[in-house]
A = this chain, B = another copy of it.
């Protein structure tokens, strides 16, 4: 598998040649390891499970209760994937009411740290994001209103004329469909 996407050094019109000083050039191909693992790790439920799991053991039902909105199915599936990836250890106690404990592996604990920092980022900046969203939406709405005003100022004459005396052109256009 060569890095087939030969990024031709020739730049398309107008882009500056910055010589790509980025040393952070990871494998961007769709089927590469990093992309696959990232998909798993960045999965909604995986993220929450890893973030929740700390030092101690958790029972299945306990996790289910703690993660609001997760279905039994998705918790099972997610835990299995995490177990397969070596991030979570599953321990079955062969007792009469079945009991299963889940806990982070050492590898999982290293990921836990990273993911927690992502969660903390989210907590720290949720205000800014909410504000940005409001600003964006407000701007869009203002834009829409302006456009409508423009249209309302222009169309009425045309629409009125059209209503009274449909032009031959417009009729022809309608028939064309």
Contact = CB atoms under 8 A, between A and B. Distances in A.
Chain A's interface: helix, strand, loop or mixed, by majority? helix
A36 to B, nearest CB: 9
Contact of A30 (B61, B68, B86): B68
Total copies of the chain? 2
A133 B29 CA distance: 21
Given A26-B123, A86-B129, A132-B85, A47 B54 contact: no
Query: Could you say which interface size class chain A belongs to?
Result: 35 or more
Interface stretch (A113-121, A147-155, A157-165, A169-177): A113-121
Nearest to A30: B69
A67 B7 CA distance: 12
